[in-house]
Amino acid sequence: MFYNYLNNIYTKTKSVIVWHNQTCVFYNELNFLEVNNLPFDPDLCRNESEVESKLIVQYLLPQLGYTPDTWHQEVALGSIRLDFLAFAAQALPFVIDANSPLSVVMEAKHPKQNLNNHVPRLRHYLTSLNVQYGLLTNGKEIRVYQKLLYDIQLVFSCSGKEINTKIEEIKKLIGRENLNNKDILNNFKASVISNNISMTIKEQHSMKIIAVYHNKGGVGKTTTVVNLAAAIRKRGKRVLVIDLDSQANTTFATGLVKFDDEEFDDIKDSNIFHVLSSEDFYSIAEVARKSNFSNPEINVVPAHIDLIRQETELNALEYSRLILIDKLEEVKNEYDVVLIDTPPSLNLYAKIALIAADYLIIPSDLKPFANQGLTNVKDFIKSINAFRKQIRKAPIELIGVLACKISTNAIAFLNLVKYSNNNG
């Protein structure tokens, strides 16, 4: 990109001459902040790329005092991908560690995007990277959020047409000079607080993600998910159900299916496939639907019968195995328990579920085929844990084998226990 190219030259030479938009511009340390004093016009931003270039790069960064050596574009930090990362202090070479002076994350969205759908992801970025401020914009609206302990709060908002008159307010919050001053003050406060023995630390909310899996069909996976969700919800917990099975039995059981009438099939264009196939769109908050099959109602991310033929498309996406982790991270403060129904196979959808989950329940109907299938399940879990180790994620914790469709024949139950002990 043009601005990455400019940034590379600037950081090496501290000056560069660029012919851009029919204008010859000379950039150096003294006049970088004066290269673009033209007012911003939100009507010129027709897509996300233009929000990045015309609002953030050409207008906001110079106005806020950030020279090319104090910000970076398209930054990848593990599974996190930032549009812009700015530093109050000069950060060359660019190294991320506990002492890095990370100050502002800036995220640009398409002008038609609702910014509310992207707040959970910004929260994840700020709290995970310990960044003080985040700017979120679609060109039509500009918001600034400040990181608290484990959350963020909105501290400024204006329309794109107001930004020229509100720029001084934004400078006071995230202008480079003001952030440098705040860092000095915060360092002083930290030294005072460290000597105060009555410090209070807020406990971080912990969302439990449970996959219900067996590679044999008909053993009670969907029944387990649906009934467990209803029972946990009645205990006052906030529950999210995710259907990752192309048979969509959980979607059907929770009353969301309308596959039999194509005219009313409103799930086809917004279901778990869209969550997994898009990094920037189709958040869980956007796709999840309220189901009143239980009282109180629960939220369900539905599946669709087209899921089976869409697996090849997902397999071609490198991030498909990990995207559910990021999407769930965005709603970690919205739910207490997430239950994932899985397909009876060793396919991509099963892998995605077990990679994202913290815990695993294996339902079994106690019959010979299900018992024999436990060996395949054991090997599958082993391969999943090997992958989890590569991404620095702890092994999935097995809650246990859940006996379903209990037979009154005690011998069948004893056989299952014996088999499980021998193969556990």
198-220: per-residue pLDDT in tens? 333 333 458 999 999 998 888 88
Instruction: Give the tens place of pLDDT for each residue, 390-414.
Output: 888 899 999 998 888 765 565 655 6
The number of domains in the chain is 2
CA distance 147 to 162: 24
Backbone angles phi, psi at 299, to 5 degrees: -100, 140
One domain, residues 231 and 270: yes
pLDDT band for position 264 (cuts 50, 70, 90): low
Kindly state whether residues 112 and 151 are assigned to the same domain. yes
370 and 252 housed in the same domain = yes
Would 272 be classed as within a structural domain? yes
Residues 341 and 388 in one domain: yes
What's the CATH code of the domain at 351? 3.40.50.300
Q: How far is CA 330 from CA 122, 279, 395, in A?
A: 8, 12, 22
The predicted model gives 333-358 an average pLDDT of: 94
CATH of residue 32's domain is 3.90.1570
How far, in Å, are 3, 37, 163, 167, 277 from residue 67 at the CA level? Answer: 12, 15, 20, 17, 36
- Do 157 and 252 share a domain, yes or no? no
Does residue 184 sit in the same domain as residue 212? no
Do residue 220 and residue 282 come from a single domain?
A: yes
User: Residues 218-238: what's their mean pLDDT?
Assistant: 91
Q: Which tens digit of pLDDT belongs to each residue from 296-323?
A: 889 999 999 888 888 888 888 878 889 9
196 is a domain residue: no
Q: Are residues 177 and 215 in the same domain?
A: no
Is the pLDDT reported for residue 12 higher than 60? no
Average pLDDT over residues 59-85: 85
Which range of 39-48, 62-71, 76-85, 379-388 scores highest in mean pLDDT? It is 379-388
Q: What integer pLDDT is reported at residue 213 of this predicted model?
A: 94
The overall pTM is greater than 0.85: no
The confidence band for 187, taking pLDDT boundaries of 50, 70 and 90, is: very low
* Paired tokens of 16: 């560069």
Q: Report how far apart, in Å, the C-alpha atoms of 284 and of each of 155, 272, 278, 350 are.
A: 25, 9, 11, 18
* Same-domain check for residues 313 and 165: no
**Residue 199 belongs to some domain of the structure:** no
Residue listed under structure tokens 């600034």: 144
- Say if 324 falls within a structural domain: yes
**Domain, as residue range, for 405:** 208-423
| One domain for residues 297 and 181 | no
198 within domain boundaries: no
Q: State how far the Cα of 83 lies from the Cα of 85, in Å rounded to an integer.
A: 7
Same domain, 218 and 300: yes
